[in-house]
Amino acid sequence: MTLEAVKQSEPVRWWMRAEREFFQLRQNRRVLLSQLPLTLTMLLLVGLLAIIDPALVANREFLLGIALVLLLTAVAAFVPWERLPRLAPCVVPLLDFIAIGFLFHGATVSLNGISFLSVFPVLWLAWSDIPAVATRVIAFVGPLCIAWAPFIFGNVEPSRAGMIRPLLGPFILLGLATAATIVTKSLNGQAARLADSGAASRRRARQLDTILNVANAGVVVVDEYGRDVLMNKHQQVIHALATPAGAVEPDEGQLLVFGADRTTPVPEEDRPVRRAVKGEEYSGELFWLGDGVHQQAMSTSARQIVADDGSSQGAVVVFHNVTDVMLAMEAQENFVSNVSHELRTPLTSIVGYLELALDELADQPEAAYLRVASRNADRLLTLVDDLLRSASGGMSIAATEGELKSVVEAGVAAAQPHAKALAIELNYSVESGLAGKFDGVRMGQALDNLVSNALKYSRPESAVDVRGFRDGADLVIEVADGGLGMTPDEQARLFTRFYRTDGARSTVIPGVGLGLSITKTIVEGHDGTITVRSEAGVGSTFTLRIPAAGPRK
C-alpha 142/C-alpha 154 separation (Å) is 18
Tell me which residue of 368, 344, 520, 358 sits closest to 445, measured CA to CA. 520
Mapping DSSP onto H, E and C, the string for 237-261 reads HHHHHHCCCCCCCCCHHHCCEECCC
- Rg (the chain; Cα; Å): 47
C-alpha 123/C-alpha 97 separation (Å) is 12
> 37 CB contacts (<8 Å, ≥6 apart)?
120
The secondary structure of residue 361, as a DSSP letter, is: T
C-alpha 60/C-alpha 18 separation (Å) is 39
C-alpha 249/C-alpha 467 separation (Å) is 62
Class of domain 327-391: mainly alpha
pLDDT of the residue at 485: 83
pLDDT of the residue at 2: 39
C-alpha 498/C-alpha 516 separation (Å) is 9
C-alpha 64/C-alpha 57 separation (Å) is 10
C-alpha 91/C-alpha 97 separation (Å) is 10
pLDDT means per 10 residues, the chain with 553 residues, are 42 48 72 88 87 78 90 91 86 89 75 78 81 83 77 63 68 78 72 76 79 82 86 88 84 86 89 90 90 88 89 90 84 72 79 82 79 77 69 72 91 89 92 90 89 87 92 93 83 68 49 73 90 88 91 73
**What angle do helix axes 404-421 and 440-456 make, rounded to 10 degrees?**
30
C-alpha 27/C-alpha 283 separation (Å) is 59
Hey, what amino acid is at 525?
Answer: G
C-alpha 550/C-alpha 553 separation (Å) is 9
Tell me which residue of 328, 20, 305, 324 sits closest to 190, measured CA to CA. 20
- The torsion region of residue 466 among left (phi > 0), alpha (psi -120 to 50) and beta comes to beta
CATH architecture assigned to 400-547: 2-Layer Sandwich (3.30)
Whole-angstrom CA distances from 7 to 10, 194, 221, 331, 359 are 8, 9, 26, 60, 98
Q: What are phi and psi of 145, to 5 degrees?
A: -65, -35
Q: Domain locations in the chain?
A: 3-197, 218-321, 327-391, 400-547
pLDDT of the residue at 513: 61
pLDDT of the residue at 477: 94
Q: How many CA atoms lie within 13 A of 358 on its CB side?
A: 14
- Stated pTM of the model: 0.46
Q: What angle do CA 175, 180, 186 make, to 5 degrees?
A: 130
Q: Which fold has domain 218-321?
A: Beta-Lactamase (3.30.450)
Distance of CA 313 to the CA centre of its chain: 13
